[in-house]
Amino acid sequence: MKPIPVVFHLGPLQLHTYGLGLAITFWFAYRYLDRRLRAHGYPSEWLGPVTVRVIVAAIVGARVVHVLAHLSVYLAHPVQILEVWQGGLSSFGGLALGLTTGFYLAHKRLPQVRLAVLADLVAPVLLASWAVGRLLGPQLMVRGGGHPTHQWFGLYYAGEVGKRLPVPLFQAAITFVVLLVVWRVERAAAAAGGPVGIVASVALGLWGAGRFTEEHLWLATGGPGHGGALAVEIAGIALAAVGLGTAAWLFVRHRRTRREVAAAAPPEPVGAR
Protein backbone atom coordinates (compact mmCIF):
# COMPACT_ATOMS: atom_id res chain seq x y z
CA MET A 1 0.00 0.00 0.00
CA LYS A 2 1.47 3.36 -1.03
CA PRO A 3 1.28 6.57 1.03
CA ILE A 4 -1.44 9.09 0.25
CA PRO A 5 -0.03 11.55 -2.34
CA VAL A 6 1.10 14.76 -0.65
CA VAL A 7 1.18 16.70 -3.94
CA PHE A 8 -1.12 16.63 -6.95
CA HIS A 9 -1.49 18.76 -10.05
CA LEU A 10 -4.37 20.61 -11.68
CA GLY A 11 -2.93 21.64 -15.00
CA PRO A 12 0.04 23.89 -14.30
CA LEU A 13 -0.94 24.25 -10.64
CA GLN A 14 0.84 22.18 -7.98
CA LEU A 15 -1.32 21.69 -4.91
CA HIS A 16 -0.16 20.30 -1.59
CA THR A 17 -2.67 18.02 0.07
CA TYR A 18 -1.61 19.26 3.51
CA GLY A 19 -2.32 22.89 2.66
CA LEU A 20 -5.65 22.08 1.03
CA GLY A 21 -6.67 20.14 4.12
CA LEU A 22 -5.82 23.06 6.39
CA ALA A 23 -7.80 25.43 4.15
CA ILE A 24 -10.87 23.20 4.45
CA THR A 25 -10.37 23.04 8.22
CA PHE A 26 -10.25 26.82 8.57
CA TRP A 27 -13.38 27.14 6.44
CA PHE A 28 -15.15 24.57 8.64
CA ALA A 29 -14.14 26.48 11.79
CA TYR A 30 -15.45 29.73 10.33
CA ARG A 31 -18.81 28.22 9.39
CA TYR A 32 -19.28 26.46 12.73
CA LEU A 33 -18.42 29.54 14.80
CA ASP A 34 -20.69 31.69 12.63
CA ARG A 35 -23.52 29.27 13.32
CA ARG A 36 -22.88 29.24 17.07
CA LEU A 37 -22.73 33.02 17.28
CA ARG A 38 -26.06 33.44 15.51
CA ALA A 39 -27.66 30.64 17.53
CA HIS A 40 -26.76 32.50 20.73
CA GLY A 41 -28.09 35.80 19.46
CA TYR A 42 -24.82 37.53 18.55
CA PRO A 43 -24.04 39.26 15.25
CA SER A 44 -21.53 37.48 13.02
CA GLU A 45 -20.93 39.93 10.17
CA TRP A 46 -17.54 40.80 11.63
CA LEU A 47 -16.34 37.20 11.70
CA GLY A 48 -15.12 36.90 8.10
CA PRO A 49 -12.37 39.57 8.19
CA VAL A 50 -11.35 38.51 11.68
CA THR A 51 -11.05 34.88 10.59
CA VAL A 52 -8.58 35.82 7.87
CA ARG A 53 -6.36 37.59 10.39
CA VAL A 54 -6.64 34.71 12.85
CA ILE A 55 -5.58 32.23 10.15
CA VAL A 56 -2.48 34.26 9.32
CA ALA A 57 -1.59 34.66 13.00
CA ALA A 58 -2.13 30.94 13.69
CA ILE A 59 0.11 29.83 10.82
CA VAL A 60 2.84 32.29 11.78
CA GLY A 61 2.71 31.32 15.44
CA ALA A 62 2.66 27.60 14.65
CA ARG A 63 5.62 27.86 12.32
CA VAL A 64 7.72 30.08 14.59
CA VAL A 65 7.35 27.77 17.59
CA HIS A 66 8.10 24.69 15.46
CA VAL A 67 11.22 26.27 14.00
CA LEU A 68 12.43 27.34 17.46
CA ALA A 69 11.86 23.80 18.77
CA HIS A 70 14.00 22.40 15.92
CA LEU A 71 16.37 25.32 15.54
CA SER A 72 19.50 23.28 14.83
CA VAL A 73 17.80 21.56 11.88
CA TYR A 74 16.61 24.81 10.33
CA LEU A 75 19.89 26.62 10.91
CA ALA A 76 21.52 23.97 8.75
CA HIS A 77 18.79 24.31 6.09
CA PRO A 78 17.30 27.83 6.47
CA VAL A 79 15.36 27.63 3.20
CA GLN A 80 13.15 24.96 4.77
CA ILE A 81 11.79 27.50 7.25
CA LEU A 82 9.38 28.71 4.57
CA GLU A 83 8.37 25.23 3.38
CA VAL A 84 5.20 25.04 5.46
CA TRP A 85 3.64 22.60 2.98
CA GLN A 86 6.09 19.96 4.21
CA GLY A 87 4.45 20.08 7.63
CA GLY A 88 6.02 21.42 10.77
CA LEU A 89 3.39 23.50 12.56
CA SER A 90 3.26 23.60 16.34
CA SER A 91 -0.30 23.32 17.61
CA PHE A 92 0.56 25.26 20.77
CA GLY A 93 2.20 28.06 18.80
CA GLY A 94 -0.75 28.31 16.43
CA LEU A 95 -3.28 28.31 19.23
CA ALA A 96 -1.33 30.84 21.29
CA LEU A 97 -1.03 33.51 18.60
CA GLY A 98 -4.25 32.63 16.80
CA LEU A 99 -6.43 32.72 19.92
CA THR A 100 -4.77 35.85 21.24
CA THR A 101 -5.44 37.60 17.95
CA GLY A 102 -8.97 36.23 17.71
CA PHE A 103 -10.05 37.19 21.22
CA TYR A 104 -8.52 40.66 20.89
CA LEU A 105 -10.31 41.38 17.62
CA ALA A 106 -13.57 39.82 18.83
CA HIS A 107 -13.50 41.99 21.95
CA LYS A 108 -13.12 45.11 19.81
CA ARG A 109 -16.20 44.16 17.78
CA LEU A 110 -18.27 42.66 20.60
CA PRO A 111 -17.16 44.56 23.71
CA GLN A 112 -20.40 43.66 25.48
CA VAL A 113 -19.56 39.94 25.49
CA ARG A 114 -17.55 38.67 28.44
CA LEU A 115 -14.33 36.83 27.68
CA ALA A 116 -15.55 33.70 29.48
CA VAL A 117 -18.76 33.67 27.43
CA LEU A 118 -16.78 33.99 24.21
CA ALA A 119 -14.44 31.21 25.32
CA ASP A 120 -17.41 28.89 25.90
CA LEU A 121 -18.67 29.68 22.40
CA VAL A 122 -15.30 29.07 20.79
CA ALA A 123 -14.22 25.93 22.69
CA PRO A 124 -16.39 23.38 20.83
CA VAL A 125 -15.39 25.00 17.53
CA LEU A 126 -11.72 24.53 18.32
CA LEU A 127 -12.22 20.89 19.29
CA ALA A 128 -14.26 20.06 16.21
CA SER A 129 -11.77 21.88 13.99
CA TRP A 130 -8.85 20.10 15.63
CA ALA A 131 -10.44 16.72 14.90
CA VAL A 132 -11.14 17.66 11.28
CA GLY A 133 -7.68 19.20 10.95
CA ARG A 134 -5.96 16.02 12.11
CA LEU A 135 -7.71 14.09 9.34
CA LEU A 136 -7.06 16.67 6.64
CA GLY A 137 -3.67 17.96 7.80
CA PRO A 138 -1.05 15.67 9.37
CA GLN A 139 -2.76 12.59 7.97
CA LEU A 140 -1.98 13.90 4.47
CA MET A 141 1.47 15.41 4.98
CA VAL A 142 5.09 14.27 4.75
CA ARG A 143 6.19 12.31 7.88
CA GLY A 144 2.71 12.41 9.37
CA GLY A 145 2.85 9.03 11.15
CA GLY A 146 3.94 8.07 14.64
CA HIS A 147 6.12 5.21 15.86
CA PRO A 148 6.92 2.30 13.51
CA THR A 149 4.49 -0.60 13.85
CA HIS A 150 3.70 -4.00 12.35
CA GLN A 151 0.06 -3.92 13.46
CA TRP A 152 -2.70 -4.34 10.89
CA PHE A 153 -3.86 -0.74 11.38
CA GLY A 154 -0.47 0.73 10.54
CA LEU A 155 -0.32 3.06 7.52
CA TYR A 156 2.37 4.24 5.16
CA TYR A 157 3.31 7.93 5.17
CA ALA A 158 5.40 9.86 2.67
CA GLY A 159 8.93 10.45 3.94
CA GLU A 160 8.80 7.61 6.49
CA VAL A 161 10.00 4.03 6.07
CA GLY A 162 7.64 1.19 6.86
CA LYS A 163 4.22 1.18 8.45
CA ARG A 164 3.53 3.80 11.11
CA LEU A 165 0.97 4.33 13.81
CA PRO A 166 -1.78 6.49 12.28
CA VAL A 167 -1.51 9.07 15.04
CA PRO A 168 -3.62 11.71 13.25
CA LEU A 169 -6.50 9.22 13.19
CA PHE A 170 -6.00 8.51 16.88
CA GLN A 171 -5.93 12.25 17.62
CA ALA A 172 -9.13 12.85 15.69
CA ALA A 173 -10.90 10.01 17.54
CA ILE A 174 -9.76 11.21 20.97
CA THR A 175 -10.76 14.79 20.21
CA PHE A 176 -14.17 13.71 18.99
CA VAL A 177 -14.77 11.92 22.30
CA VAL A 178 -13.69 15.07 24.16
CA LEU A 179 -16.07 17.08 22.00
CA LEU A 180 -18.97 14.80 22.96
CA VAL A 181 -18.15 15.36 26.64
CA VAL A 182 -17.91 19.13 26.14
CA TRP A 183 -21.26 19.23 24.32
CA ARG A 184 -22.79 17.36 27.25
CA VAL A 185 -21.26 19.80 29.73
CA GLU A 186 -22.56 22.72 27.68
CA ARG A 187 -26.11 21.38 27.68
CA ALA A 188 -25.98 20.69 31.42
CA ALA A 189 -24.59 24.17 32.15
CA ALA A 190 -27.29 25.80 30.04
CA ALA A 191 -30.02 23.84 31.80
CA ALA A 192 -28.68 24.69 35.27
CA GLY A 193 -27.92 28.34 34.54
CA GLY A 194 -24.12 28.23 34.55
CA PRO A 195 -21.37 28.47 35.51
CA VAL A 196 -19.93 30.57 32.71
CA GLY A 197 -16.49 29.38 31.61
CA ILE A 198 -16.89 25.73 32.54
CA VAL A 199 -17.29 24.62 28.91
CA ALA A 200 -13.96 26.16 27.91
CA SER A 201 -12.28 24.89 31.08
CA VAL A 202 -13.35 21.28 30.54
CA ALA A 203 -12.37 21.50 26.86
CA LEU A 204 -8.94 22.88 27.75
CA GLY A 205 -8.29 20.28 30.43
CA LEU A 206 -9.33 17.24 28.41
CA TRP A 207 -7.58 18.44 25.26
CA GLY A 208 -4.38 19.04 27.21
CA ALA A 209 -4.58 15.55 28.69
CA GLY A 210 -5.06 14.14 25.21
CA ARG A 211 -2.08 16.04 23.82
CA PHE A 212 0.15 14.69 26.57
CA THR A 213 -1.07 11.13 26.03
CA GLU A 214 -0.60 11.05 22.26
CA GLU A 215 2.79 12.74 22.38
CA HIS A 216 4.07 10.48 25.15
CA LEU A 217 2.76 7.20 23.74
CA TRP A 218 2.85 7.56 19.98
CA LEU A 219 5.09 10.43 18.87
CA ALA A 220 7.97 11.19 21.24
CA THR A 221 11.20 9.56 20.08
CA GLY A 222 13.91 12.01 21.07
CA GLY A 223 15.05 12.24 17.45
CA PRO A 224 15.41 15.39 15.39
CA GLY A 225 11.89 15.06 14.02
CA HIS A 226 10.36 15.30 17.48
CA GLY A 227 12.71 17.56 19.39
CA GLY A 228 9.83 19.41 21.01
CA ALA A 229 8.22 16.30 22.47
CA LEU A 230 9.12 17.07 26.09
CA ALA A 231 7.82 20.62 25.75
CA VAL A 232 4.55 19.32 24.31
CA GLU A 233 4.16 16.84 27.15
CA ILE A 234 4.82 19.49 29.79
CA ALA A 235 2.42 21.91 28.11
CA GLY A 236 -0.23 19.18 27.88
CA ILE A 237 0.04 18.41 31.60
CA ALA A 238 -0.10 22.12 32.45
CA LEU A 239 -3.19 22.70 30.31
CA ALA A 240 -4.89 19.65 31.80
CA ALA A 241 -4.20 20.85 35.34
CA VAL A 242 -5.30 24.43 34.67
CA GLY A 243 -8.39 23.46 32.70
CA LEU A 244 -9.72 20.73 34.97
CA GLY A 245 -8.74 22.65 38.10
CA THR A 246 -10.62 25.72 36.88
CA ALA A 247 -13.63 23.62 35.94
CA ALA A 248 -13.74 22.07 39.42
CA TRP A 249 -13.42 25.50 41.05
CA LEU A 250 -16.22 26.95 38.90
CA PHE A 251 -18.47 24.01 39.69
CA VAL A 252 -17.88 24.20 43.46
CA ARG A 253 -18.34 27.99 43.48
CA HIS A 254 -21.56 27.67 41.50
CA ARG A 255 -22.96 25.07 43.90
CA ARG A 256 -22.00 27.20 46.91
CA THR A 257 -23.62 30.29 45.41
CA ARG A 258 -26.85 28.43 44.73
CA ARG A 259 -26.96 27.14 48.32
CA GLU A 260 -26.36 30.63 49.68
CA VAL A 261 -29.12 32.09 47.53
CA ALA A 262 -31.51 29.34 48.62
CA ALA A 263 -30.65 29.90 52.30
CA ALA A 264 -31.18 33.66 51.99
CA ALA A 265 -34.57 33.32 50.32
CA PRO A 266 -37.58 34.10 52.57
CA PRO A 267 -39.45 31.03 53.83
CA GLU A 268 -42.52 30.01 51.92
CA PRO A 269 -45.76 30.95 53.72
CA VAL A 270 -47.57 28.14 55.50
CA GLY A 271 -50.18 26.61 53.25
CA ALA A 272 -48.73 28.14 50.10
CA ARG A 273 -48.64 25.96 47.03
Band of residue 271 on the pLDDT scale cut at 50, 70, 90:
low
Q: Is the pLDDT of residue 241 over 90?
A: yes
Length of the chain: 273
Band of residue 184 on the pLDDT scale cut at 50, 70, 90:
very high
pLDDT computed for residue 223 by the predictor: 47
pLDDT 10s digits, 117-146? 999 999 999 999 999 999 988 787 777 888
Q: Tell me which range, 66-70, 226-230, 235-239, is most confidently predicted by mean pLDDT.
A: 235-239
Cα gap 239→133, rounded to integer Å: 20
Residue ranges covered by each domain of the chain: 7-264
Contact 62, 228 (CB under 8 A): no
Band of residue 226 on the pLDDT scale cut at 50, 70, 90:
very low
Report pTM.
0.87
CA distances from 117 to 82, 114, 271 (A): 37, 5, 41
